[in-house]
Amino acid sequence: MICLFLLLTMNFSCVEHTSTENETDKSALAANSHTDTLQFTSGISAIFQDSKGNYWFGSLREGVAVYNGKTFKYFSRNDGLTDNQIHSIQEDKEGGIWFNTQTGVSSYDGTRIINHTDAAAKALQNSFQIQSKEPLPGKWMKADNDLWFEAGNKEGVYRFDGQKLNYLAFPPHKILNPNDNLFAVTDISKGKNNMIWFATYAGVFGYNGSNFTIITDETLGYDRKIAPLHIRSILEDAKGRLWIGNNGIGVLLKDGDSVINFSKKNNLIHPDSKHRGDKSPQGTMEHVFAIAEDSKGNIWFGDRDAGVWKYDGVAMKNFTKTDGLTSDFAISIYKDKNGELWFGMTDGSIYRLNGERFEKQF
């Protein structure tokens, strides 16, 4: 049902595999002097600036592009990526670039792309002398240089410890329907006190290296039949507050032991809302797929139907097509090394925030 629900409300999960090709330098970007144009037409689902200043852009259907300030270089399944739908991009301590795709984890060492998901599964199969297509779960642990990845439809995550990729299953929890993939990871956020948060459709798992914190409908006191969690984004901000973006019931804000529906408190839930995946009108914030914090402590939200929202600690401000955006859906929001915010839109365009003004980069 979850898969069907996602297919009806978004068009992210089941994507066609296409190939294209793309590269970035921050000084050129700041000057807005581009000599090439991004060729992606599907949504920009991931943005990342590496240690050399290059900008990497992940798409919903066309793979990855890297921009060096003048030209793009493109990577797709034809080049070795596990899938053309990109969920996140990271860099390891050696400068390798890692891609979390719809179906696995790949990395690029500057020369070639390596599929680590298959390698992890084969290594575990060989060591345990079993015949299985799924990697066996490893032991939970945590170190500063770890890279963490979603594990597709499996209930758990992948952890790269600097040497190899390990699959880690979540601890026992109440499963409402084990056939719905309700605890597949949708977003990851690092927080204070060594905490890392894993958002799943039906709940949140927090891990600090020794203990887990589990947040579900039950722990929040929500009646799933009336307003089910359908989590798509998560952020722990600089103050330690946990923002949980849902597809249907807006944003929940957990501040210590207090939990409120932030969208409802700010009158951003429509009176006729069904609290699920139905399309919402402008002026609402019910379907939040991206959350980020800027250098001034403002919290930014990307809503599926109603544009970009900014919260300055007092008031909310909305940015939509009427403010010059080409789309009302920012599926990704990223703060670069200069503290500037980048917004990836579902129509394939990319914006950089200049004060209160959105400047289209590609």
Residues 326-343, mean pLDDT to the nearest whole number:
97
Digit-coded pLDDT (tens) for 226-239: 778 999 999 999 99
Residue 107 counted as domain residue = no
Taking the C-alpha atoms of residue 44 and residue 101, their distance in angstroms, rounded to an integer, is 13
Residues above pLDDT 70, as percent of the chain = 83
The pLDDT of residue 31 is above 90: no
| Residue 177 binned pLDDT confidence (cut-offs 50, 70, 90) | low
The pLDDT of residue 225 is above 50: yes
pLDDT at res. 148: 98
Instruction: Provide the CATH number for the domain around residue 271.
Output: 2.130.10.10
Residue 314 counted as domain residue = yes
Digit-coded pLDDT (tens) for 269-280: 999 998 888 999
pLDDT at res. 1: 39
Question: Who has greater pLDDT, 11 or 291?
Answer: 291
Look at the alpha carbons of 280, 281, 286, 289 in this order and tell me if their dihedral is positive or negative. Answer: positive
The pLDDT of residue 126 is above 50: no
The pLDDT of residue 262 is above 70: yes
Q: Phi first, then psi: what are they for 86, rounded to 5°?
A: -105, 130
Residues 202-231, mean pLDDT to the nearest whole number:
88
pLDDT at res. 2: 41
Residue 296 counted as domain residue = yes
Residue 264 counted as domain residue = yes
Taking the C-alpha atoms of residue 121 and residue 137, their distance in angstroms, rounded to an integer, is 10
| Residue 212 binned pLDDT confidence (cut-offs 50, 70, 90) | very high
Count of CB atoms situated within 10 Å of the CB of 180: 15
Contact 72, 36 (CB under 8 A): yes
Residues 284-311, mean pLDDT to the nearest whole number:
98
Residue 93 counted as domain residue = no
Residue 359 counted as domain residue = no
Label residue 159 exposed, middle or buried (CB < 10 Å: 0-12, 13-18, 19+): buried
pLDDT at res. 228: 83
pLDDT at res. 283: 97
The pLDDT of residue 27 is above 90: no
pLDDT at res. 10: 41
**pTM reported for the whole predicted model:** 0.86
Residue 185 counted as domain residue = yes
Residue 215 counted as domain residue = yes
Structure tokens, 113: 């792309």
Number of domains in the chain: 1
Question: Domain span at residue 202?
Answer: 181-319
Residues 189-195, mean pLDDT to the nearest whole number:
95
Q: Which residues of 11-43 are buried (b: 16+ CB within 10 A; e: fewer)?
A: ebeebeeeebbbbbbbebbeeeebebebebebb
pLDDT at res. 23: 33
| Residue 9 binned pLDDT confidence (cut-offs 50, 70, 90) | very low
Q: Which residues of 272-286 are buried (b: 16+ CB within 10 A; e: fewer)?
A: ebebbbeebeeebbb
Label residue 294 exposed, middle or buried (CB < 10 Å: 0-12, 13-18, 19+): middle
Summary mean pLDDT of the chain: 86
Q: Which residues of 168-177 are buried (b: 16+ CB within 10 A; e: fewer)?
A: bbbeeeeeee
The pLDDT of residue 147 is above 60: yes
